[in-house]
Amino acid sequence: MQASPRIAVVGAGLAGACAAFALAPYATVTVFEASSSQAEAFRAQGGLVHPLMTRRARPNWRHEEALQALERLLEATGVRVQRGLLRVAFEARQYTDFQEAARRYPQWASWLAPEAVRDHFPQVHAPYGALWIPSGLLVPVATLIQSLLAHAGVPVHRGVEILDWQETATEVVLQAANGAAYTFDYVVLAPGYGYVRHPELARLPLQGVKGQAIALSSLPELGHLPPVVANVHVVFGPDHLHVGSSYELTFSSLAPSPAQSLQLQEQAAYWVPAIARATFKEAWVGVRVIRPLQPLPVLSPLPSRRRVWLFSALGSRGLLFAPLLASWLPKVLFEPERLPPEVRLTRA
């Protein structure tokens, strides 16, 4: 990387915070965030990550590198996590898939037949068995984001919405909604669902997926359980139970849905029957960004651009992929040809 380039990171979510943290030792970094709230947008996230997150419990793309990158961030920031989770097979065909996963990847998971789940976790209903994944992590996402930005030591301008950008041969000029203009050598756009407000980004093959999560009253008899992951996930906190998440590919409102809240509790209660007795406290909504035709994130210059980059499409695996991709930025920003082709945008 050239000597102390000026780099703007637009978006202070997980991708933006990881990018700022990775670039700060090598550049003069400034972060812009449209929202004035630090943590509200991340309350819908469960914060769960492990190496076998696919439906058939197979390793994710570059899973070992990705988990190592996350562990490095956790060590550097001192953010504390909970380890170990129970992944319950939620349909009959996963019975064989999960057994095979445990056989092929004993370093990550062990198979628990239905009777073994009853012995070890009697509060959990697992008619098709489960995987015990000791390396699974429960990460406080909002805390990690705040810690990354604090450790990066970069200025964070909240409540500043970037509307547009103009790229020249030597710099990028950002135009803000407040009328201000800011000049940088490079810009990394990490806008989350805010991409839909930018015509250049809205034309890209991206899609928002609405997800809702709920908080239920805590139940003392469940306090010792690890996170349970099936077609929904349940995190057992001291103050509330966190249940998520719904997946809506089409939506017209970002408001929580009472019907979705009820469905989430009913689904969670199928796997942990005592949850039927919990009382509803609150619902949260977030929107994940995905690439429908390519289930991997984006880290790439925008088509026909060199100095404006996009860091997006992390979907439900942001904790897995964001630290790894961000760690590449100091090397690839000036040499984008070094990027894996799977994460690059191609000309439409």
The pLDDT of residue 175:
97
Residues 246 and 234: their CA atoms lie apart, in Å, by: 13
Average pLDDT over residues 198-223: 95
Average pLDDT over residues 90-109: 96
Buried b (16+ CB within 10 A) or exposed e, 162-193: beebebeeeebebebeeeeebebbbbbbbbbb
pLDDT per residue over 260-284, tens digit each?
999 999 999 999 999 999 999 999 9
Give pTM, 2 decimals.
Answer: 0.94
Q: Which CATH superfamily is domain 6-43+143-206+293-343 in?
A: FAD/NAD(P)-binding domain (3.50.50.60)
The pLDDT of residue 295:
87
Please report which confidence band the pLDDT of residue 348 belongs to, taking 50, 70 and 90 as the band edges.
very low
Average pLDDT over residues 189-215: 95
Whether residue 37 is predicted with pLDDT greater than 80 in this model: the reply is: no
Contact by Cβ (8 Å): 34, 292? no
**Fold match between 6-43+143-206+293-343 and 207-290?**
no
Rg over alpha carbons for the chain, rounded to the nearest Å, is 21
Whether residue 43 is predicted with pLDDT greater than 70 in this model: the reply is: no
The pLDDT of residue 91:
95
Whether residue 100 is predicted with pLDDT greater than 50 in this model: the reply is: yes
The pLDDT of residue 25:
97
The pLDDT of residue 38:
59
pLDDT per residue over 278-327, tens digit each?
999 999 999 999 999 888 999 999 999 999 999 999 999 999 999 999 99
Phi, psi of 109 (to 5 degrees): -150, 150
The pLDDT of residue 135:
93
The pLDDT of residue 42:
59
CATH code for the domain defined by 207-290: 3.30.9.10
The full set of domain ranges for the chain reads: 6-43+143-206+293-343, 207-290
The pLDDT of residue 36:
78
Q: Which long-range contacts (CB under 8 A, 24 or more apart) does 193-201 make?
A: 193/287, 193/288, 193/289, 194/11, 194/34, 195/289, 195/312, 197/163, 198/163, 198/164, 200/302, 201/302, 201/310
pLDDT per residue over 108-129, tens digit each?
999 999 999 999 999 999 999 9
The pLDDT of residue 49:
95
Contact by Cβ (8 Å): 130, 102? no
Average pLDDT over residues 335-339: 95
